[in-house]
Structure 1
């Protein structure tokens, strides 16, 4: 099969289209013929040599795909050859075939194309597991999302609004600001010329006074890491929760524990890729139950910036690196069974 390999980490040219064996199908897994693969920042880091796959997993990049089941492993129930699926992966998505634990599959609704479906597994599982399962965002609370125009950000806006929360986002351009407003964001902060700590306090002041609580975000969803840590903590209301999923702004920073203790603030940080299979299956099951019906009826929709051939995996990643994209960037692997 054709697959992207990384003989030597580096720039976009580090990706090589190679012929590799079709993976075997372990018990409890299925083989999926990949139609479309999603591009994520973890893939960019892996290409550069900064993010090795978990021990024992494939070194082919790619954390989400859509496609069709072509083979069932021993013990798999509830799925059939020919089923259209979207899948959350530990790796292997930039290829014509990938083996997937059955617990990490989602059925593609009839109203959704396979291309559209590939834009959903990673962002929905990441947002739901961190913002709702971890940080416990409640109806009526305020969520502050950094990177509102990203794939993660556009998913977070939709999920927050679907579950009755209010959402503010940070963006770096008016183009992205308007897109986020149109998608449902209640407030938009341009981080280039506004202090997001001051602005989130102003934005939430009226709601906080009416509810008898302090102004600020109830949950902050962060992709930046160390650079924003101190300000993210300040941006939280009392009893607020900070969920960190990215380290674009560095890995080390100091925390004022007194700030956390006196206002009962919580800091949590996770990655999805390194979670054990059982945890991933539990997240996928929760998304299937609580979110996927809204995908099926069109309430929550994929936001896709562009789709590129598999051979252009390297250049297409530059859209994420330079901040041009709004929503997801995808790779077209096969035109069959669309």
Structure 2
């Protein structure tokens, strides 16, 4: 049995350590990807510290949700893909499908070709943040558990581009360390949907970053506390705000966003709801959507497969852009420091995504 290097958590609460595990075999309609660049997300720290979403699949657990590399093997029934194709994809919790390892299995209908001229490091910043923003805004508003999408018409669907022209939107945490790429991805998608103005909150040093993503106005949350946000938004537009995307989703940001949200509007949160129940409509018609960004299984699988038909085209046209990259030294082992920096408690990342190059030194 061929073995590979991987970062493994051997028990609930055990930190990731460099080890080995078998190279998985792709099943029907799956591909095997040789990972060349892997990105870090805050959820990775939760996997090692709390066993988040790892317990059902057993140990040792493998983290990682973002990767880019080359197709190394084809499962039965795979068409339109060849060994050697450059691809990006989103991993998730089963060990064979996570990305903190040299080889990962992915669904053939949920990978995308990397455009010419885009590096593996850049491509690895895209998948999870894009999926989180897209599912939150556009997946059907049908509750499954505590999660659902916002139910808007996606810009890749017929009539979706510019559908919401002239309507304002608010993104809380346009470059936050919690949201990482989610805030910028949400801004980019809202721009494709025609929203205007697009107002974002951010630290002062990330104003340019948010505007480059498509925000028309950026409010410094340090200068304007969230309990004063409604007044600041009203100075920008008097129109009702039908969409709020909260990439931070702490109680204070949810409270502020919910107060600003217009009756009949939808607010998307990425962490546990604290202002309303996800998937239900309040008396004034407000709806709260809580993102479930796993696209490898469950209700979001079909939505994600449809979105992935358009990911390469959107990247080639510049409709969506990769995140800023900070390269972690040390290859696969370098991800260990990145996991610590990206944790929700540390919040040591802003305006960039931490990426390791797995073939470093080879």
1:253 and 1:89, CA in 2 relative to 1: closer, same or farther beyond 3 A?
Answer: same
The 5 A counterparts of 1:296-315 are 296-308=316-328, 309-315=331-337
8 Å Cα contact 1:104/1:281 also seen in 2: no
Structure-2-length-normalised TM-score: 0.79
Aligned residue pairs total 319
- The residue aligned with 2:166 is 140
8 Å Cα contact 2:8/2:16 also seen in 1: yes
8 Å Cα contact 1:68/1:81 also seen in 2: yes
Measure, in 2, the Cα distance between the counterparts of 1:139 and 1:44.
39
- The residue aligned with 1:229 is 254
- The residue aligned with 2:314 is 294
Measure, in 2, the Cα distance between the counterparts of 1:46 and 1:97.
19
Measure, in 1, the Cα distance between the counterparts of 2:254 and 2:318.
35
1:151 and 1:327, CA in 2 relative to 1: closer, same or farther beyond 3 A?
Answer: farther
Query: Cα RMSD (Å) of the superposition?
Result: 2.8
Please report how far the alpha carbon of residue 224 of structure 1 lies from its aligned counterpart in structure 2 after TM superposition: 1.4
Please report how far the alpha carbon of residue 218 of structure 1 lies from its aligned counterpart in structure 2 after TM superposition: 2.8
Please report how far the alpha carbon of residue 336 of structure 1 lies from its aligned counterpart in structure 2 after TM superposition: 10
Measure, in 2, the Cα distance between the counterparts of 1:128 and 1:256.
20
1:151 aligns with 2:172: no
- Further displaced range: 49-58 or 278-287: 49-58
* 1:259-306 CA distance string (max 9 Å, x none): x644311111122127625632431422432x5322012342212230
1:243 aligned residue (243, 265, 268): 268
Please report how far the alpha carbon of residue 176 of structure 1 lies from its aligned counterpart in structure 2 after TM superposition: 1.4
- The residue aligned with 1:49 is 50
- The residue aligned with 2:9 is 6
1:275 and 1:297, CA in 2 relative to 1: closer, same or farther beyond 3 A?
Answer: closer
1:255 and 1:34, CA in 2 relative to 1: closer, same or farther beyond 3 A?
Answer: closer
Measure, in 2, the Cα distance between the counterparts of 1:182 and 1:85.
25
The 5 A counterparts of 1:200-279 are 200-205=233-238, 208=239, 215-245=240-270, 247=271, 251=272, 253=274, 255=276, 261-273=282-294, 276=297, 279=300
Greater helix percent: which structure? Answer: 1
Measure, in 2, the Cα distance between the counterparts of 1:148 and 1:100.
29
1:286 and 1:315, CA in 2 relative to 1: closer, same or farther beyond 3 A?
Answer: same
Please report how far the alpha carbon of residue 71 of structure 1 lies from its aligned counterpart in structure 2 after TM superposition: 0.9
1:199 aligned residue (232, 246, 260): 232
